[in-house]
């Protein structure tokens, strides 16, 4: 699971995490008491609005420039973010 | 001027009658913050240049005889999960220790346009994850009422700053109670508006379907004034609501006669007796003001914690994926390959609570568990929302506790994360439904600890919520 989450954990962290998640997931099992077969899932708080209410006018606006967007990058060059090698074999 | 007692109204009066200039006020507020902040650690940094420049603009406007903005000269603290252009924004995380945002949150733009003076950035739990402000990478915040106790979380710095006097009003953010609970613990007013009422543009995302920006203030009128300024449609946030923003302060007329108030019976089980007594006394006060109090039932309340911590962590695991060492300032030094860079940067950068929530969220979204946890929780969210819809057919507002207990001691609950999660029970239900809710001071325990009463109303009925809170406060 830590690999899936892209988190490097120490062995102490893994022990603690296993204990905590076990306890929390046991509490989550409480939801099984409810029959929700006839209930729609709620992904978002929604209100009555026209179909296009969330669209902005189709007008050009100036985005952040490349230099500004890169300003917080730990490593950059030639207008790009730089990362270690991607192909690992 | 006494910084611990100033309000938006009294600052306006002080500027109008030339008791002080905005620059004098800002200078004094900065001096006070430098002297007092070490007692609480509520502010992570002050922003003197920005504050003095904003104050000068207000003084220039006064000199030219111009109409003043609603927040003219008012010292504001901004929670450090809300981005401020060119002003360091850390989210309480080591990962963003050097992050300088290239833009302002919409709420920040709006409050500065109204003459607000940003004094500094407020401490908070890392990425707004916590109920005690003990998860900040920059040290916990202490409650100004009792420094041995927590200020609540995750907006603990914002609440403590307003209570302590290092700001007059503050912005916080609320995902499951992170404005209301610290407001209750510190004895100030804290408001979570309807979902979408305030743009989330520039609020660093924790759980996007639950995140709100909300105001802290010393009284209901100031909270209403600040919300008025920051609310409204924003083209940069497609979930911001297009509904017009009413004039909240014009509706604070004290008339709550005949207002129907519901007390959910499920909320009063297992409540610390002093908190329960204070809320009961609050209900009696509302009855004397002419409200009709009835008991109601919210049968799905006991499932709210489980549903919330599935949905919120699922969304968080996705939102926090962006802190991978590529764009946001911090990268692990020991990274020979891309995947090691991701894992090391995140493993070294995130604190324990963020890691716990990322792991939990990753688990409930993973193949084979998605239906059993995430989809199930979304269905339960519908049931909890339906509890509110049905209650609001019978009543105009609901009153409830904010927290099962008043401010606890630092370290008291850090060893058991589930116990900490369970303490969010009364605030989480309103968050899941996306309705407006607020905490208004309701008295102190025998030990002198503040207790807040929660008021919840229908979607977009901030006017009803403020009217009731104001009548309660003045009554």
Answer yes or no: do A8 and B376 touch at CB < 8 A.
no
Whole-angstrom CA distances from B436 to B110, B204, B286 are 21, 21, 19
Q: Do A4 and B366 touch (CB under 8 A)?
A: yes
Q: What are phi and psi of B295, to 5 degrees?
A: -80, 135
**CB-CB under 8 Å, B331 with A74:** yes
pLDDT less than 70: residues of chain A: 88-89
Distance in Å, alpha carbon of B233 to nearest chain A alpha carbon: 10
**Does A25 contact chain B (CB < 8 Å)?**
yes
Structure tokens at B305: 């914690």
Does B414 touch chain A if contact means CB atoms closer than 8 Å? no
Chain B residues in contact with A69 by the CB 8 A cut-off are: 102
CB atoms within 10 A of CB B152: 35
CB contact residues (below 8 A), chain B span 260-279, against chain A? none
DSSP element (H, E) containing B293 = strand B292-296
SS3 percent helix, strand, coil of chain A, rounded to 5, is 30, 5, 65
Nearest to B326 among A2, A24, A83 (CB): A83
Q: Among residues 27-46 of chain A, which lie with CB inside 8 Å of chain B?
A: 27-28, 30-34, 36, 39-45
Name the B residues in 110-149 with CB < 8 Å from any A CB: none
Structure tokens at B211: 């995140």
Which pLDDT score, from 0 to 100, does residue A89 have? Answer: 64
Contacts of B360 in chain A (CB under 8 A): 21, 24-25
Nearest residue in B to A28, CA atom: B306
Instruction: List Cα–Cα distances, A47 to B163, B243, B304, B362, B377, in angstroms.
Output: 35, 10, 22, 29, 20
Please, which residues 359-398 of chain B have a Cβ atom closer than 8 Å to chain A?
359-360, 362-364, 366, 373, 375-383, 385
pLDDT of res. B273 = 87
pLDDT tens per residue across all 475 residues of chain B: 899 999 999 999 999 999 999 999 999 999 999 999 999 999 999 999 999 999 999 999 999 999 999 999 999 999 999 999 999 999 999 999 999 999 999 999 999 999 999 999 999 999 999 999 999 999 999 999 999 999 999 999 999 999 999 999 999 999 999 999 999 999 999 999 999 999 999 999 999 999 999 999 999 999 999 999 999 999 999 999 999 999 999 989 889 999 999 999 999 887 878 999 999 999 999 999 999 999 999 999 999 999 999 999 999 999 999 999 999 999 999 788 999 999 999 999 999 999 999 999 999 999 899 999 999 999 999 999 999 999 999 999 999 999 999 999 999 999 999 989 999 999 999 999 999 999 999 999 999 999 999 999 999 999 999 999 999 999 8
How many Å apart are CA B249 and CA A19, to the nearest integer? 50
How far apart, in whole angstroms, are the C-alpha atoms of residue B137 and residue B351?
7
Active site positions of B, annotated: 79, 154, 178
- Which residue in B239, B26, B376 sits closest to A34, CA to CA? B376
Give the closest-approach CA distance of A63 to chain B in angstroms: 11
The pLDDT of residue B108 is 98
Helix (H, G, I), strand (E, B) or coil at B308: helix
A14: chain B residues, CB-CB within 8 Å: none
CA distance to B177, B191, B241, B463, per residue, from B225 (Å): 21, 12, 19, 12
DSSP B173-211: EESSSTTHHHHHHHTSEEEE--TTSB--TTB--S-TTT-
Question: Three-state SS for B37?
Answer: helix
The confidence score (pLDDT) of residue B401 equals 97
Domains within chain B, CATH numbers bracketed: 8-251 (3.90.1300.10)
Q: What is the pLDDT of residue A54?
A: 76
Q: Which of B264, B227, B166 is nearest to B470 (CA)?
A: B227
**With an 8 Å Cβ cutoff, are B326 and A4 in contact?**
no
**Contact at 8 Å (CB) between A36 and B380?**
yes
Q: Please report the ipTM that was assigned to this predicted complex.
A: 0.94
Contact B137, B255 (CB under 8 A): no
CB within 8 Å: A23 and B418: yes
For B214, half-sphere exposure in the C-beta direction (CA atoms, 13 angstrom radius) is 34
Contact call for B346 and A86, based on CB within 8 A: no
Answer whether 0.95 is exceeded by the pTM. Answer: yes
In A44-73, the residues whose Cβ lies within 8 Å of chain B are 44-45, 47, 49, 53-57, 64, 68-69, 71-73
Task: Answer whether B300 sits within 8 Å of A73, measured CB to CB.
Answer: no
Tokens of A71: 């300003």
B195, B434 Cβ separation under 8 angstroms = yes
The B437-444 sheet, strands edge to edge: B43-46, B117-122, B75-79, B169-174, B212-217, B189-192, B437-444, B450-457, B397-401, B260-264, B292-296
- What pLDDT score was predicted for residue B109? 98
CB contact under 8 A, B347 and A9: yes
pLDDT at A48: 77
């Amino acid at each position: 699971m830590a690999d899936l989450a892209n988190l490097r954990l120490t062995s102490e962290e893994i022990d603690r995490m296993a204990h905590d998640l076990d306890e929390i997931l046991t509490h989550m099992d409480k939801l099984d008491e409810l029959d929700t077969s006839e209930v729609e899932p709620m992904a978002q708080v929604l209100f009555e609005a026209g179909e296009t209410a969330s669209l902005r006018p189709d007008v050009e606006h100036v985005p952040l420039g490349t230099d500004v967007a890169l300003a917080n990058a730990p490593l950059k060059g030639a207008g790009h973010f730089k990362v270690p090698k991607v192909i690992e074999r | 001027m006494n910084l611990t007692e100033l309000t938006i109204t009294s600052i306006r009066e002080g500027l109008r009658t030339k008791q002080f200039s905005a620059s004098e006020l800002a200078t004094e507020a900065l001096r006070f913050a430098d002297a007092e902040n070490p007692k609480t650690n509520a502010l992570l940094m002050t922003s003197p240049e920005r504050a003095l420049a904003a104050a000068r603009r207000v003084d220039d406007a006064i000199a030219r005889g111009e109409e003043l903005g609603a927040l003219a000269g008012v010292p504001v603290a901004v929670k450090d999960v809300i981005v401020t252009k060119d002003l360091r924004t850390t989210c309480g995380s080591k990962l963003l220790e050097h992050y300088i945002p290239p833009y302002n949150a919409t709420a920040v733009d709006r409050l500065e346009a109204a003459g607000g003076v940003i004094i500094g950035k407020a401490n908070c739990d890392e990425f707004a994850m916590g109920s005690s402000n003990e998860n900040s990478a920059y040290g916990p915040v202490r409650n100004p009422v009792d420094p041995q106790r927590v200020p609540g979380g995750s907006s603990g710095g914002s609440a403590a700053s307003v209570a302590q006097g290092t700001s007059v009003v503050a912005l916080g953010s609320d995902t499951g109670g992170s404005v209301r609970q610290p407001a209750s613990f510190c004895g100030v007013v804290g408001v979570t508006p309807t979902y979408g009422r305030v743009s989330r543009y520039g609020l660093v995302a924790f759980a996007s379907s639950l995140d709100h920006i909300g105001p802290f203030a010393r009284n209901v009128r100031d909270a209403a004034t600040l919300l008025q300024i920051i609310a409204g449609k924003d083209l940069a946030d497609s979930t911001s609501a297009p509904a017009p923003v009413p004039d909240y302060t014009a509706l604070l007329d004290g008339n709550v006669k005949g207002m129907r108030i519901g007390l959910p019976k499920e909320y009063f089980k297992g409540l610390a007796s002093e908190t329960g007594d204070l809320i009961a006394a609050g209900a009696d006060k509302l009855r004397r003001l002419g409200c009709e109090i009835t008991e109601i039932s919210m049968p799905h309340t006991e499932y709210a914690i489980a549903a919330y911590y599935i949905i919120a962590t699922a969304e968080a695991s996705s939102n926090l994926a962006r802190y991978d060492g590529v764009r946001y300032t911090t990268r692990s030094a020991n990274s020979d390959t891309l995947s090691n860079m991701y894992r090391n940067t995140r493993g070294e950068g995130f604190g324990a609570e963020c890691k716990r929530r990322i792991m939990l969220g990753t688990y409930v979204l993973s193949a084979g568990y998605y239906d059993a946890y995430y989809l199930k929780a979304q269905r339960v969210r519908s049931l909890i929302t339906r509890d509110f819809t049905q209650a609001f057919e019978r009543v105009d507002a609901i009153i409830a506790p904010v927290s099962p207990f008043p401010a606890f001691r630092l370290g008291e609950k850090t060893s058991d994360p589930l116990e900490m999660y369970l303490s969010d029970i009364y605030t989480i239900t309103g968050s899941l439904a996306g309705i407006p809710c607020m905490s208004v001071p309701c008295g102190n325990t025998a030990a002198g600890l503040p207790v807040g009463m929660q008021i919840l109303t229908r979607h977009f009925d901030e006017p009803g919520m403020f009217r009731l809170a104001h009548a309660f406060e003045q009554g």
